Amino acid sequence: MPKDTSIKSVLIIGSGPIIIGQACEFDYSGSQAARSLREEGIEVTLINSNPATIMTDPVTADNVYLKPLEKKYIIEILEKHKIDAVLPTMGGQTALNLAIDCEKAGIWKKYGVRMIGVDIKAIETTEDREAFRLKMLELGINVCKGETATSFLEGKEIAQEIGFPLVIRPSFTLGGYGGGFVNTPEEFDAALTRGLHASPTHEVLVEQSIMGWKEYELELLRDNVGNVIIICSIENFDPMGVHTGDSITVAPAMTLPDTVYQKMRDLAIKMMNGIGQFAGGCNVQFSVNPADDKIIAIEINPRVSRSSALASKATGYPIAKIASKLAIGYNLDELKNAITKTTSAYFEPALDYVIVKIPRWNFDKFPGADRKLGLQMKSVGEVMGIGRTFQEALQKACQSLEIKRNGIGADGKEKTNYDELIYSLKNPSWNRLFSIKDAMRIGIPTSTIQNLTKIDPWFLAQIEELDVMEKEIEKYNLATIPAELLREAKVKGYADRQIAHLLRCKESEVHSVRTELGIKRVYKMVDTCAAEFEASTPYYYSTFDGENESIVSDRKKVVVLGSGPNRIGQGIEFDYSCVHGVLAAKECGYETIMINCNPETVSTDFDIADKLYFEPVFWEHIYDIILHEKPEGVIVQLGGQTALKLAEKLERYGIKIMGTSYKALDLAEDRGSFSALLRDLDIPYPPFAVIETAEEALELSKELRFPLLVRPSYVLGGQNMKIVINEKELEAHVIDLLKDHPGNKVLLDHFLDNAIEAEADAICDGEDVHICGIMEHIEPAGIHSGDSYAVLPPFDLSENVLNQIEEYTKRIAVALQTVGVINIQFAIKNEVVYIIEANPRASRTFPFIAKAYREPYINYATKIMLGAKKVKDFTFNPYKHGYAIKVPVFSYNKFPEVNKELGPEMKSTGEAIYFIDDLQDDYFTQVYSERNLYLSK
Amino acid sequence: MKKHTSTEAILLLEDGTVFRGKSLGEIGITGGELCFNTGMTGYQEIFTDPSYYGQIVITTVSHVGNYGVQHKEVESEQVQIKGLICKEFSQHFSRNTAEGSLQGYFEAAGIVGICEVDTRALVRHIRDKGAMNAVISSETTDLEELRKKLAEVPSMVGLELSSQVSTAITYELKPDEVKFRVAVLDLGIKKNIINNLVSRGCEVKIFPYNTPYEVMEEWNPDGYFVSNGPGDPAASTDAVRSVQQMLEKNKPMFGICLGHQVLAEANGIATYKMHNGHRGLNHPVKNLITGRCEVTSQNHGFVVDGDQLLNHPQVEVTHINLNDNTIEGIRMKGKPAFSVQYHPESSPGPHDSGYLFDDFITLLEQNK
């Protein structure tokens, strides 16, 4: 069937603020869907309360509603626009739930809106564990033994029947919230109660445990006539027992024979067809018993998911884009493969490389949190490494994580304590992968590791090969190492830094020796078809192999550094900025080159930048791309602290940084010189000191006076920041910090008790400054700006204070010779404005202001960075109406053990925007009245 | 774990291009026509598929050998490929039911191969230059000697190879409950085709590639199956003659791959050698009769000429390839005969096309 021409206007529902289990992958799918529909001449209306998204940008949709995802706002939209159809499959569980609510309330029917891309009955079958189980039994598909309990007593009875170990899975919860394994009858009662409470319907599935079995996922697409294709097979490195969102995953499946894979494929198709007829994407999870290849169906998600985003990036097949076209009536055979542009969209991608996804956790932000991985997802982001082989992809994924490692192993951070390693192998957490390698290094037999982890022996053998090679390399030094061995290390994904560590020399020395030996990175294309057909899509990854496919053009180029994995303090906001940076640079005539390794993002979509290098935002990879492409310069202001941190090295290697100079970036980050600058500019700042020992700290605390804000220099998201009120606390925290950051300096600031906090975002060309917006925090100083409610414009600052803020912002921006963006944070006490810090980069709040004022600030700032425009070239016409509130959103329900108090260390995972007309608004008054509720001392 | 040591190996192409890598399987020299397969699973099935006879296979997937080998998953009793070229050859395998490693399997079969080759560059090379012959050597790196070996490798065009892989003697297989008798002309048949017929109630008798029609007819079958196999279809003259006789007698007939090409030749429709064949598990085919699509397993270097099928009086096109519009299936107008270019028995590959065996059963029922 060709396109359904009766659909002229579509509503897409977004996924709201980022929370654990629902991250920026839905910005990726939502924006791809919007672009795909607009290509067809369809008017797209979008609702999402998350301002930091590309999907809510005027570049993506015709009508954008930055409103809470609630029924009343859907009605508001339907009253205003003639909407023909709603597409609820691009915004995760949140969008689906809202669509179901509206369906139940008869809203869609009332306004004559069709629901496309999904089948309500299918959702109900898949979300309700018992309905799913019965459906599978009806289809003749094996599932775990289990039954649903709606009461405590029922649960006990079922458990008695099935026996232990078993699993408790609450119905209708996100990311496995409230679920868990129960190994003994003693643990059962508490777990059952927790599960029942977690479920909004007071329902849990009590199920046979298949812990340790192999785990797989398939990503499917189906059209209206029932054609189904499998886009990608994904194998979990971590066997059953760890939530897939928390599992290291590999594509294509590595250890599946064709017989088992095809059986799984048949089952997946049968399941998708069995749950309902709809055109769109679907994700199916299976478990395979390693003893006899028996397959059990785990779950099916009839929508675009986190795994579909990964599968899209892993294969190059744009799942959300095609799923949207299917939803409006196209059949798969009527569409073209977006990568080759000549072959059919109806096919199954063939990979000639391997991808490894590793989740990124942030347990350090949640003191007291249970760090053990299980059924409930706990990671906040993820990275993907692409390599020609599993080993290379694994190393590259580890290099992408930004956890101060240079890859897996060979960086001097290996653990050597036997008991500690055995514990880590038995109790999966963020570090199990590293522990496996370390365990091999100290001689723990692979068979023991296999017994403890149940990880497939093939994966373990791959890691063991790395260990064997490392031990071989260590026998040499840089002068004596055979070229073949050096090449082998590079082929296996080792960073120059890792090799340098093994050979006891410098990274740069390894780089020059290997370059002399001709051991150079080449770039291969992700083309969906293993080179069978010609493809022109500029999506590349690096490897050490023969032929290079990334041909360098003679256009002027600029590199935009991405922000790497999402984590608390650095999330989707920076991807928003990167995407806008790329688009603005394109407008200025540049060939744009994007480097990033986060598969959930829009910036890593192959049709955003002119060239996408899906590579770790890790020095060696960036440097090699720069050597290959020879860009005019690099933009570091948009990709958060990840990109900014690389400025120093770029400067050292003589690579041009576009916009604000390295010297100014460094000056702003260096507290000592920055304060000197403030003193010269006659701008107040809280008394502070830089110390290197606890003794110094105690000494200086007398001058500075308590309370004191204690933190390491160079941090984002308030990492390890703490307010201390006496000498004992000060000493303890300083010692802690120096232990974690040896050789680093610690900053002590006098903390302005009960001050009001405010911040300003501005763009500057070195001479003129435009202040985009000033935000006032509702909570008093002491809570990290990312965790505060912020109001734009300020709601109760005096004119005198506002004048000081404006004046200081301008003075600082010009003094730092800012060319691009700057964010400045203030504390206000007794009508005096103090500077807390200045961030010479895109901030978390830039997208928020851009959305509220409807001005493309990052676009302007990028043009200024590139020298194409000056501030005075733009006419600013911000849309000012009422107030916009930035609402922080937390994922505490994933960490029930964690204290909810807020402090200088950021804990929120996402944010929403909420507009109010005036200060009498109920929402505002409530938030305002509770402003001290979660404040830590 | 011991560090695996393998010797240097070299790959020389007909156009003089040289790739270097490490040896796999047996140490030695081998030659054949290069072809690439983009499947990501099912290496053992591919290597034992008789249609690959005489060919050196490049597997584009990164790792080969991961799950070892087991006899249950062969498509014939021997390794049929002349050699293997791959990226990463797994010395370690993991599968509880595996009987051994792929390395051991190759050593026992005397198969020579080369790994750690930039297979992607190689595929791009032959994608542009077309299929060509090559030699792999892990014995000598002397190019002069290898050039001589290469010259001895025959060209695939005009080559008859069924005689090399077909059964030498006739044999029978019987289901528990016999519904039909099917005579199978073995041009290099895959085991799973036979399984698909037997599991649907067909008693099958498998005849050597050059068995005359009369000999098969003596067994009094309800229908005929003409199998896949290696080589140039134009050289399969015996099979073409037999198929012509089947058609004359209005016998139900089903052909797969080479069998499909033979059905076309039997109707005077020519086949030609493709620039690069279709080999993989992901080829998109559209059934023009039902409008449905299927993901298919394919392995062919020759194809039926579509131009000669335009407005053909006796033969109509039933299936086309969605990537390049080549002919994937045909059927006779007014006669119970049809065939497909791809492999509905899959193995390896998706099971989307199993319905074709059911269609054949329906034909047998209607013509009993």
Task: Evaluate if residue A388 carries a pLDDT over 80.
Answer: yes
Question: Ranked by mean pLDDT, which of A334-348, A355-369, A482-496 comes out on top?
Answer: A482-496
Task: Evaluate if residue A66 carries a pLDDT over 80.
Answer: yes
The answer to whether A465 contacts B1, with C-beta atoms less than 8 Å apart, is: yes
**Model confidence over A259-310: pLDDT tens digits?**
999 999 999 999 999 998 889 999 999 999 999 999 999 999 998 889 999 9
The answer to whether B40 contacts A265, with C-beta atoms less than 8 Å apart, is: no
Q: Which residue is closest to B293 within chain A, CA to CA?
A: A227
Tell me which of B152, B174, B196 is where a domain ends: B152
Cα A121–chain centre separation: 31
The answer to whether B67 contacts A256, with C-beta atoms less than 8 Å apart, is: yes
First to last CA, chain B: 62
Q: Specify whether B101 is located in the same domain as B123.
A: yes
Chain A residue numbers touching B45 (CB-CB < 8 A): 258
**Model confidence over A650-703: pLDDT tens digits?**
999 999 999 999 999 999 988 788 999 999 999 999 988 888 888 888 988 888
**Model confidence over A321-332: pLDDT tens digits?**
999 999 999 999
The CATH label, of 3.40.50.300, 3.40.50.720, 1.20.1730.10, 1.10.1030.10, for the domain at A390-519 is 1.10.1030.10
From B93, B286, B350, residue closest to A333, measured CB to CB: B286
The answer to whether B118 contacts A547, with C-beta atoms less than 8 Å apart, is: yes
Using CA atoms of A724, A725, A731, A735 in order, give the dihedral in degrees to the nearest 10: -10
Task: Evaluate if residue B359 carries a pLDDT over 90.
Answer: yes
pLDDT confidence of residue A694: 87
Residues in chain B: 368
pLDDT confidence of residue A200: 87
Cα–Cα distance for residue pair B273/B132, rounded to 1 Å: 12
CATH code that applies to domain A754-929: 3.30.470.20
pLDDT confidence of residue A714: 62
Task: Evaluate if residue A496 carries a pLDDT over 60.
Answer: yes
Closest CA to A234 of A242, A220, A222: A220
Compare A24 and A394 and report the one with higher pLDDT: A394
pLDDT confidence of residue A672: 81
Q: What is the ipTM of this complex?
A: 0.96
Cβ(B336)–Cβ(B269) under 8 Å?
no
The token pair that represents A289 in the structure block: 């018993």
The answer to whether A343 contacts B1, with C-beta atoms less than 8 Å apart, is: no
Which residues are CB-contacts of A472 (< 8 A; sequence separation ≥ 6)?
A: A485, B3
Q: Specify whether B178 is located in the same domain as B299.
A: yes
| Residue A470 distance to chain B (closest CA, Å) | 11
Cα–Cα distance for residue pair A148/A170, rounded to 1 Å: 9
Residue B188 lies in a domain: yes
The token pair that represents A828 in the structure block: 């206000």
The answer to whether A225 contacts B88, with C-beta atoms less than 8 Å apart, is: no
Residue B287 lies in a domain: yes
The answer to whether B87 contacts A464, with C-beta atoms less than 8 Å apart, is: no
Q: Specify whether B225 is located in the same domain as B117.
A: no
The CA R_g of chain A, rounded to the nearest whole Å, is 27
CATH class for the domain made up of A124-355:
alpha beta
CATH class for the domain made up of A523-651:
alpha beta
Cα–Cα distance for residue pair A862/A639, rounded to 1 Å: 12
pLDDT above 90 coverage of chain B, percent: 96
User: Could you tell me the residue ranges of all domains in chain A?
Assistant: 9-116, 124-355, 390-519, 523-651, 687-750, 754-929
B275 is catalytic: no
Q: Which of A534-548, A708-722, A768-782, B199-213 is least confident? A: A708-722
The answer to whether A292 contacts B127, with C-beta atoms less than 8 Å apart, is: no
B95 falls in which pLDDT band (50, 70, 90)?
Answer: very high
Task: Evaluate if residue B4 carries a pLDDT over 70.
Answer: no
Task: Evaluate if residue B240 carries a pLDDT over 90.
Answer: yes
Cα–Cα distance for residue pair A50/A35, rounded to 1 Å: 18
Cα A357–chain centre separation: 12
How large is the average pLDDT for residues A75-83?
A: 97
pLDDT confidence of residue A403: 94
The answer to whether A458 contacts B90, with C-beta atoms less than 8 Å apart, is: yes
Q: Does A258 touch chain B if contact means CB atoms closer than 8 Å?
A: yes
Q: Specify whether B266 is located in the same domain as B305.
A: yes
Chain A residue numbers touching B118 (CB-CB < 8 A): 545-547
Which domain range does residue B52 map to? 8-152
The answer to whether A350 contacts B3, with C-beta atoms less than 8 Å apart, is: no
Q: Is A824 left (phi over 0), alpha (psi -120 to 50) or beta?
A: beta
Q: Specify whether B126 is located in the same domain as B263.
A: no
Chain B residue numbers touching A456 (CB-CB < 8 A): 94
| Residue B212 distance to chain A (closest CA, Å) | 36
How large is the average pLDDT for residues A790-794?
A: 97
CATH architecture designation of domain A687-750: 2-Layer Sandwich (3.30)
Q: Does B93 touch chain A if contact means CB atoms closer than 8 Å?
A: yes
How large is the average pLDDT for residues B220-245?
A: 96
Is this structure's pTM higher than 0.90?
A: yes
Partner B, chain A 344-363, Cβ-Cβ below 8 Å: 344, 346-354
Number of domains chain B contains: 2
The answer to whether A389 contacts B41, with C-beta atoms less than 8 Å apart, is: no
Selected residue of B5, B13, B38 to mutate for chain A interface (largest A Cβ count, 10 A): B38
Chain A residue numbers touching B36 (CB-CB < 8 A): 532
The torsion angles phi and psi of A360, rounded to 5 degrees, stand at -115, 125
Cα A635–chain centre separation: 20
From A253, A349, A472, residue closest to B3, measured CB to CB: A472
Q: Which residue is closest to B279 within chain A, CA to CA?
A: A532
From B62, B66, B281, residue closest to A388, measured CB to CB: B62
| Residue B276 distance to chain A (closest CA, Å) | 9
User: What pairs with residue A357 in β-bridges?
Assistant: A249, A384
Q: Which residue is closest to B130 within chain A, CA to CA?
A: A532
Domains A9-116 and A523-651 are alike in CATH topology: yes
Chain A residue numbers touching B88 (CB-CB < 8 A): 388-390
> Sign of the CA dihedral B314, B318, B322, B326?
negative
Compare A335 and A209 and report the one with higher pLDDT: A335
Closest CA to B231 of B329, B184, B165: B165
Cα A934–chain centre separation: 26
Q: Does A488 touch chain B if contact means CB atoms closer than 8 Å?
A: no
Cβ(A382)–Cβ(A360) under 8 Å?
yes
Residue B1 lies in a domain: no
Chain A residue numbers touching B342 (CB-CB < 8 A): none
Q: Which of A147-151, A349-353, A623-627, A803-807 is least confident? A: A147-151
pLDDT confidence of residue A935: 65
Q: Specify whether B73 is located in the same domain as B194.
A: no
How large is the average pLDDT for residues B79-85?
A: 97
| Residue A347 distance to chain B (closest CA, Å) | 5
B257 is catalytic: yes
Cα–Cα distance for residue pair B335/B366, rounded to 1 Å: 12
**Average pLDDT for chain B:** 95
Selected residue of B41, B64, B190, B289 to mutate for chain A interface (largest A Cβ count, 10 A): B41
Inter-chain CB pairs, A–B, below 8 Å: 169
Q: Does B21 touch chain A if contact means CB atoms closer than 8 Å?
A: no
Residue B157 lies in a domain: no
CA distances from B310 to A883, B234, B300, B318 (A): 69, 20, 22, 12
Strand, helix or coil for residue A148 = strand
The answer to whether A257 contacts B36, with C-beta atoms less than 8 Å apart, is: no
User: What pairs with residue A301 in β-bridges?
Assistant: A283
How large is the average pLDDT for residues A884-894?
A: 92
The answer to whether B97 contacts A457, with C-beta atoms less than 8 Å apart, is: no
Cβ(B21)–Cβ(B37) under 8 Å?
no
Cβ(B261)–Cβ(B304) under 8 Å?
yes
pLDDT confidence of residue A1: 61
Task: Evaluate if residue A491 carries a pLDDT over 70.
Answer: yes
pLDDT confidence of residue B3: 44
Q: Specify whether B167 is located in the same domain as B195.
A: yes
pLDDT confidence of residue A120: 86
Selected residue of A388, A532, A536, A549 to mutate for chain B interface (largest B Cβ count, 10 A): A532
CA distances from A461 to A29, A818, B44 (A): 36, 52, 21
The answer to whether A346 contacts B63, with C-beta atoms less than 8 Å apart, is: no
The answer to whether A333 contacts B96, with C-beta atoms less than 8 Å apart, is: no
Q: Which of A711-715, A772-776, A789-793 is least confident? A: A711-715
The strands making up A180-182's β-sheet, listed across from edge to edge, are A146-149, A204-208, A166-170, A180-182
Q: Which of A365-369, A639-643, A910-914 is least confident? A: A365-369
pLDDT confidence of residue B2: 45
Q: Does A532 touch chain B if contact means CB atoms closer than 8 Å?
A: yes
pLDDT confidence of residue A715: 59
How large is the average pLDDT for residues B147-175?
A: 94
Number of neighbours of residue A493 by Cβ within 10 angstroms:
28
How large is the average pLDDT for residues A390-395?
A: 98
Task: Evaluate if residue B25 carries a pLDDT over 80.
Answer: yes
**Average pLDDT for chain A:** 93
The answer to whether A524 contacts B120, with C-beta atoms less than 8 Å apart, is: yes
Q: Does B38 touch chain A if contact means CB atoms closer than 8 Å?
A: yes
Q: Specify whether B145 is located in the same domain as B218.
A: no
Residue B3 lies in a domain: no
A937 falls in which pLDDT band (50, 70, 90)?
Answer: very low
How large is the average pLDDT for residues A14-26?
A: 92
A237 falls in which pLDDT band (50, 70, 90)?
Answer: very high
B343 is catalytic: yes
Tell me which of B125, B152, B179 is where a domain ends: B152
| CATH 3.40.50.20 is right for the domain spanning A9-116 | yes
Q: Does B100 touch chain A if contact means CB atoms closer than 8 Å?
A: no
From A233, A353, A530, residue closest to B38, measured CB to CB: A530
**Model confidence over B271-280: pLDDT tens digits?**
999 998 999 9
Chain A residue numbers touching B96 (CB-CB < 8 A): 290-293
How large is the average pLDDT for residues B273-300?
A: 95
Q: Is the peptide bond before A252 cis (omega within 30 degrees of 0)?
A: yes
How large is the average pLDDT for residues A382-406?
A: 97
From A266, A352, A462, residue closest to B61, measured CB to CB: A352
Q: Does A164 touch chain B if contact means CB atoms closer than 8 Å?
A: no
Find the CATH number of the domain harbouring B240: 3.40.50.880
pLDDT confidence of residue A656: 97
Find the CATH number of the domain harbouring B56: 3.50.30.20
- The β-bridge relationship of strands A708-712 and A722-724 is antiparallel
Task: Evaluate if residue A175 carries a pLDDT over 70.
Answer: no
Strand, helix or coil for residue A838 = strand
Tell me which of B152, B176, B207 is where a domain ends: B152
